[in-house]
Structure 1
Amino acid sequence: MDVFSQYAPFIQDYIYSRGWGELRPIQTAAADLIFNTDNNVLLSAATASGKTEAAFFPILSVLEKDPPQSVGCLYIAPLKALINDQYERLTELCEGTEINIWRYHGDVSSSQKRKLMKHPSGVLQITPESLESLLLNKHADIPALFGDLRFVVIDELHSFLRSDRGGQTFCLLERLNRLAGVSPRRVGLSATIGDPKKTGQFLGQGSGHRTTIPQVASAPQKWRLSMEQFYKSGPQASEGTEPAAQAPLAPKSDQAPEMADPAMAYIFEHTRGKKCLVFTNSREECEAVCQILRQYCEVRGEPDRFMIHHGNLSSAVRQSAEEEMKDDSVNLTTCATATLELGIDVGQLERAFQIEAPFTVSGFLQRMGRTGRRNNPAEMWFVMREDYPESRAVFPSLIPWSLLQGIALVQLYLEERWVEPPKDHYLPYSLLYHQTMSILASGGEMAPSELAKKVLTLTYFKWVSQDDYKILLRHLIKIDHIQLLDNGHLIVGLAGERVVNNFKFYAVFQENEEFSVHAENVELGTVVKPPPVGEKVAIAGHVWVVEEIDRKRHQVYVHQVKGRIPAYFGDVAGEIHPKILQRMRRILAEDKQYPYLMKNAHVRLDETRQMAQHAGLPERQLISLGRKSYCFFPWTGSYAFLALERFIRLKCASRLGINKFDSVRPYYMQFTMDASEEDFYRVLKEEAAKNFDPLDLLYPKEVPYFDKYDDFLPEELVKKEFAESVLDLASMRECIESLPE
């Protein structure tokens, strides 16, 4: 009641009108910190726990009691759709008050933006890209716009923890503080925080305030969770076996068409008459799944009950799907990617499906959290798919990796409440270029020392040395992105103006650019963001190795090899943390069953454990496949695996006589080898103990472009960032040290 009494009268009326009997613990704790301290606040609680109200009830009360002379609260969200959703909620909450709620993103009319500039006040909701646009194009207006800024609320904070977009956001906040002469407190909101202490440090960097994380006892969570496995064709794993005791078997579908993909038939039948989400891990898969499910409706003579939502669709199509989902009188199912895993209001969803395992515990929790609103348990059905094994299939390809990964994600959270931590010690040179050009373009002519001070003192660049920055500036002068004047000062060059003046400059994430793929004189098709030279790409039903990339002509030259990898048309496989692979290894070693496994999944796990035990897994990590062929299971994360792959090929292969090297990242590597198992372990340990340069793990003449602005960087910085920041050498060394003597 003490907290309630500090709320503004309109907040109290809002609570009364909804018949709330009490405030939730997170709301009481947040209000106490916002009202009675000068600290940043990190609010981490389950989806639908009232985090938004916990932050805004006290913030709006402060703004109502002492109206700011500018925008008083800046709300940053990763998606325009989330901003639109929260705009409606806050507008309703502030109805009848003097507090204005503003939106500022690409879909907002110019007239609304002009009104904001004339009368800055209240709460401004914005994406990082639109904030970049403001600081770049409205530089002189920033003091008037934000001169009395009190709070910055960052929603879905976890989505900013491990990317350059998050780095951009925090650079912009520091730049805004300096320009406007303010020091607002920050409030971070997220349902999936793994390391609260590190996340609190990340939230507070450059803010001038310490961060407090209220410890709130959360109510026990109830989940309805199932995980089933399907072969895409042929008999299923459990045919002819007794049903598993651990989980009920869903009724066999008799409604899907004859010869239907069993997994798709399962989803088709169990979305009937319900409002559901079907999550996929890529846009390509999302399109394919939606098409299949719509075809099933057509074959059965049923109305189309499936919609689609992903980042490559127009805003009109996405908004149409969002509006349909909010209508609780309509039972439709939406096929979606990560665009719907964040906090957009999608109405009363009954069930979420996840096709294959997601890459992160955070993603799993976010997607499941889309359901379970209004006191109902969260409900997710995992659907794992694999090809029916060929008679000559080699042992490692018989392991249902997605099934193991899905179990590992669930168990890590159930057992340890573990979620991926923020990424630290990073060399973000692509973002360094971007912020250098933005600061120079907005601030005009300045001395190199002044520019360096403005850029390198941004907290996100704390690992960048002055020497590296000098290398960058000299290169940018050489390619005319920056011009050196006779007085020794710098301005944006002609080539740089073409980059900065393009609206695409506001974003630091890569837009899709198509490259045509050529084998000799034959064009095979197109891919987006091709992998580096020496890596593989799948297209036209075959696997190819990239020989050369012509970035000016947008062409990729390849030659064909044997093997199988997933098709790649622009969706980059997510980073999998080492801890997930280590938990997958334990799954093979333990004999426990998991109560959420359905019949086929239960049988496949038993089969896999027996097969692994017969081969010597998981105790042994190097398995002989006969005739000098070996398979190595590192059980480490994506970027440690990538580093280890290169380490073996570049540092150890000649000593061990390794040839015909191939890998399925991040699960296993296959090769032929002249040496013994003992030699393999010994050589890896000896080479890892040497103090080698991380740059040694780049192939000859390789310049591994990964980020949006890498093309504008000097090659030595591109190589350094890849070697020291992309490749996870620390985890690679831990992996090698753990190998048997």
Structure 2
Amino acid sequence: MLDPVLGHHIVNSLGWRSLRPLQEAAIEPLLGGEDALLLAPTAGGKTEAAAFPLLTRMGRHGWKGTSVLYVCPLKALLNNLHPRLRAYTEWLGRTAELWHGDITTPRRRRILTQRPDVLLTTPESLESMLVSAHVDHRAFFSGLRTVVVDEVHAFAGDDRGWHLLAVLERLSRTVGRPLQRVGLSATIGNPQELLAWLQGSGRGRRPARVVAPHLDGHSDSRQPAAAPSPPPPPGDIELDYVGSVANAATVIAALHRGEKRLVFCETRRTVEELAERLRAKGVTTFLSHASLAVDERRRAEAAFAEERDCVIVSTSTLELGIDVGDLDRVIQLDAPSSVASFLQRLGRTGRRPGTTRNCLFLALDGEGLLSAAALLLQWSRGWVEPVVAPPEPRHLVAQQLLALCLQEQWVGENLWQEWWNGMGPFGPGAAPVVRHLVEQGYLDEDGGLLFVGPEAERRYGYRHFMNLTAVFTAPPEFTVCHGRTEIGRTDPDLLTEHVEGPRKLLLAGRNWLVTYIDWNRKRCFVEPADEGGRARWSGFATVRVRSFHLARAARDVLLGEDPPVRLTPRAAARLAEARDRHLHTVHPGGTLITRHTEGDIRWWTWAGHRANATLAASLSAVVVPHRRANDQWVPLREDVSPATWGAAVAQVPSGLCLPEVDERAVRGLKFAEALPARLAVATLAARTADVPHAGEVLAEPVRFVRLTGT
């Protein structure tokens, strides 16, 4: 069914004797123009599963101009994929080009005049093309037929997903035809729902299917029910307790010598500290995280791909499908935030014939050990998080209205909904946002037309409205330079806080002495130093929260259930200590309220951050005000008793209350200023709640326990 020229090159250029199951199963629906979600574990051949049928269809139907968009969440992933897709298109006499923020102006001009058949880009760059005065977007995209969204689960779980859907709806209206949508994803818990989300306004109007041969009995599923997650693949998984970053460095330096190791850390600061200690032990070490300069990251990734006996230390930047060569081992400090993330990381290993997937967990403290054990227990049950779009993205409705007016110059005050075909939050419910934008001067209104107003010009007009196409607010950072070489970026607090002696930074795994700070240009200049550097990043980064299911898995671990992986004696001993310590905080038959002699009252729900925040807001009569709940317990008033507790629970309305929202959190929501204050607060409140699981917990039996001592 594929183009014969493609078939020739698959055999003779790639040396493949056959296609993988996903690649075979994807041919028929993609050739037929169906929307599809292609699911496979990491390194499952998803790119080729989409590219080969679409290139066949391109030649068979004589598509002209830019007919396929390939959208990725990361520029680095686009850079990595481009050589492969360029080779595949060249086999058929076609072209593939990159378009993102790092592409030079001359190269962009060449792309605009010589439209490639396949364009690889990000949603932000795509929207920049739509609003740019230098791009005739109607002419450029006139031949567009298909959009491929790689790592679609990475979009759908946050606001970039809503942004992507809204931009695709505008693009579809611009070209005057529905666009075939193809999503590529690793295993997730709700594939049918994710496919329906990806279809946007085309849901129920266009044929669509999930293609996932590795889900037994669920390939080519056209049913609305979600496919179950597969059992976890065989692998070599070990959980150890090391107690500190210094000890982790000692273990990593001593084990697996001669192998290529990828170490994942949950913060940039941990990446820097671990890399510095590994280098001090003579280990060839590279780094990757978001605050390193692009050239610094590329050098590290290129060197790592060519080395053998080395370590690369990374945040989630290397979690997605960027090729760093054949890995021997993945090491995880503490635990990632989700099972899905762990599956991505585990999938970086075991790609060579005769090797197995493996991961060594090194817990830095007791909480990290419990989190890792809980995650591995859930993984062993075959559970993967469903990908759910954040509710009520009103701030993005405001952003899209402004971007649309910038794109079209003016829009009819009663016609703007047509650009999104009434899709979800961009339908009639967005009318209050439109009124607010007009009232506050973000939009002007004249003769029944809407166009960009002076307030939008003032807030977002800098550099041709570049800030309007970015969905998230970036924290302020200073660029760090050694001579003319940019090393990365650092938190300004490290440059302003009082220090005794010279000011030193830790960046790119090396120590630096600050020699000069240019406050106006937000740059600091450094020279190499021997030791004593510090790393820190703060700002508006989202706090990691433990979900209901992972919190309950932690409770199961404390109740005695071990994950079916190898536990080192250190890990087993620490877990035993944790079980003793939590003896009176967990119960298999419900929740516990503990009263200490000093008056500290806690309701141990093990329900996760969002469910506990919802419960705290709904039981305000018995909850300590202005004291936050965590993922394990809710703080209660000292005078709570079984009687007052029962009365408070009885008064909870059928609809639980949404959590209170901190004013600082509202300020961190991009475009919140373009919303009425009450809608901005309501948006964040809906996103910090977990009403279903809070209701489930509230219905469970509660036991009161009095503890003695501390």
Give the TM-score taking structure 2 as reference length.
0.82
Do the aligned partners of 1:11 and 1:57 also contact (CA within 8 Å) in 2?
Answer: no
Which residue pairs with 1:307 in the alignment?
286
Corresponding residue number in structure 1 for 2:214: 217
Q: Does structure 1 residue 154 correspond to structure 2 residue 139?
A: no
| C-alpha displacement of 1:617 | 4.2
Give the secondary structure class of the aligned counterpart of 1:261: helix
Matches within 5 A, 1:415-426: 415=381, 417-424=382-389, 426=391
The separation in 1 between residues aligned to 2:653 and 2:376, in whole angstroms, is 35
Contact 1:703 1:718 in 2 (8 A): no
Aligned counterparts, 1:583-602, within 5 A: 583-592=553-562, 594-602=564-572
Q: Which of 281, 286, 298 is the equivalent residue of 2:266?
A: 281
Flag the 1:700–1:324 CA change in 2: closer, same or farther, 3 A: closer
Instruction: Work out the CA distance in 2 between the residues paired with 1:735 and 1:68.
Output: 55
Q: Distance in 2 between matches of 1:480 and 1:53?
A: 48
Deviation at 1:601, TM superposition (A): 1.0
Tell me the amino acid that sits aligned with residue 721 of structure 1: T
1:580 positional shift: 1.4
Aligned to 1:704: 666
Please give the per-residue CA displacement for 1:185-228, whole angstroms capped at 9, x wherever unaligned.
11111113211111121122224523211241379833111111
How far did residue 132 of structure 1 move?
Answer: 0.9
1:484-520 Cα deviation digits (max 9, x unpaired): 33x34322112212404332222102211369xxxxx
Tell me: CA distance 1:679–1:270, structure 2 relative to 1, closer, same or farther (3 Å): farther
CA 1:12–1:679 in 2, change beyond 3 Å: closer, same or farther?
farther
Does residue 483 (structure 1) correspond to residue 444 (structure 2)? The answer is: yes
2:465 to 497, 502, 505: 502
Question: Structure 2: how far apart are the matches of 1:572 and 1:691?
Answer: 27
Q: Deviations over 1:289-336 (max 9, x none)?
A: 222322x33xxxx3x511111112111111111211221x44321111
Instruction: Give how far 1:680 is off.
Output: 6.0
Q: Shift of residue 450 of structure 1?
A: 2.0
Q: Equivalent of 2:255, from 263, 270, 275?
A: 270
CA offset at residue 100 of structure 1? 0.5
Return closer, same or farther for 1:80/1:593 CA change in 2, 3 Å cut-off: closer
One-letter amino acid of the counterpart of residue 497, structure 1: E
Out of 582, 599, 620, the position equivalent to 1:612 is 582
Q: Which residue of 2 aligns with 1:412?
A: 378
> Could you tell me whether the CA contact under 8 Å between 1:76 and 1:126 is conserved in 2?
yes
Aligned to 2:444, what secondary structure does the other structure show? strand
Give the match for residue 733 of structure 1.
Answer: 695
Conserved? CA contact 2:263–2:331, under 8 Å: yes
Q: 1:320 aligned to 276, 291, 299, which one?
A: 299
Q: Find 2:367's aligned residue among 396, 401, 408.
A: 401
Are the structure 2 counterparts of residues 617 and 230 from structure 1 closer, same or farther at C-alpha, using a change threshold of 3 Å? farther
**CA deviation profile, 1:566-607 (whole Å, cap 9, x unmatched):** 995554223432111122222222445633222211112222
Could you tell me how far 1:459 is from its partner in structure 2? Answer: 1.9
Seq. identity, %: 28
CA distance in 2 between partners of 1:364 and 1:692 (Å) = 33
Q: Which of the residues 199, 202, 210 maps onto 1:204? A: 199
Per the TM alignment, residue 702 of structure 1 is displaced from its structure 2 partner at its CA by 8.4
Would the alpha carbon gap of residues 594 and 606 (structure 1) be closer, same or farther in structure 2, given more than 3 Å must change? farther
Specify the SS of the correspondent of 1:213. Answer: strand
For the residue of structure 1 that corresponds to 2:364, the secondary structure is strand
Task: Sort the Cα spacing of 1:586 and 1:79 in 2 relative to 1 into closer, same or farther, 3 A.
Answer: same
Structure 1 residue 622: Cα displacement: 1.6
For residues 547 and 373 of structure 2, the distance between their equivalents in structure 1, rounded to whole angstroms, comes to 15
Instruction: Tell me the amino acid that sits aligned with residue 624 of structure 1.
Output: R
Deviation track 1:545-576 (CA, whole Å, cap 9, x = no partner) reads xxxxxxxxxxxxxxxxxxxxx99555422343
Flag the 1:49–1:680 CA change in 2: closer, same or farther, 3 A: farther
Q: Contact 1:69–1:121 at 8 Å: present in 2 too?
A: no
C-alpha spacing 1:150/1:617, structure 2 compared with 1 (3 Å) = same
Q: Please, which moves more after superposition, 420-429 or 170-179? A: 420-429
Q: Report deviation, 1:615.
A: 5.5
Q: Which amino acid aligns with 1:502?
A: F
Distance in 2 separating the partners of 1:9 and 1:445:
47
Length-normalised TM-score, structure 1: 0.79
Matched, 1:511 2:474: yes
State whether residues 156 and 389 of structure 2, in contact with CA within 8 Å, keep that contact through their aligned partners in structure 1.
Answer: no
Q: Which amino acid is 2:6 matched to? A: F
**Residue in 2 that maps onto 1:17:** 13
Q: Distance in 1 between matches of 2:185 and 2:563?
A: 31
Are 1:722 and 2:684 matched, yes or no? yes
Of 5, 28, 31, which residue of structure 1 is paired with 2:27?
31
1:111 and 2:106 matched = yes
**Pairing 1:153-552 to 2, within 5 Å after superposition:** 153-207=148-202, 208-217=205-214, 221-232=233-244, 261-270=246-255, 272-294=257-279, 296-297=280-281, 302=282, 305-327=284-306, 329-375=307-353, 376-386=355-365, 400-415=366-381, 417-424=382-389, 426-454=391-419, 457-461=421-425, 466=429, 469-485=430-446, 487-498=447-458, 499-500=460-461, 501-513=464-476, 526=493
CA distance in 2, matches of 1:198, 1:618: 32
- Following TM superposition, by how much is the alpha carbon of 1:282 offset from its aligned partner in structure 2, in angstroms? 1.7
Tell which deviates more after alignment, 475-484 or 95-104: 475-484
1:88 aligns with 2:48: no
- 2:483 paired residue number: none
Distance 1:610 1:617, change over 3 A: farther
**Does structure 2 conserve the Cα–Cα contact (< 8 Å) formed by 1:510 and 1:708?**
yes
Give the superposition deviation at 1:359: 0.9
C-alpha contact 1:639 1:728 (8 A) present in aligned 2: yes
Residue 418 of structure 1, CA deviation: 2.0
**Contact (CA 8 Å) 2:258, 2:308: kept in 1 or not?**
no
Distance in 2 (alpha carbons) for counterparts of 1:702 and 1:341:
30
User: Does 8-17 or 54-63 show the bigger shift?
Assistant: 8-17
Q: Match of 1:537?
A: none
Q: CA deviation at 1:165?
A: 0.4
Q: Tell me what 1:50 maps to.
A: 45
Check 1:356–1:425 CA distance in 2 against 1; reply closer, same or farther (3 A cut).
closer
With 135-144 and 353-362 compared, the bigger mean Cα shift is at 135-144
Counterpart CA distance in 2 for 1:447 and 1:567 is 44
- d(CA) in 2 for partners of 1:45, 1:289: 32
Q: What is the Cα deviation at residue 45 of structure 1?
A: 0.8
Which string of whole-angstrom CA distances, capped at 9 and with x for unpartnered residues, describes residues 245-297 of structure 1?
A: xxxxxxxxxxxxxxx83222112322542211111112222222222322x33
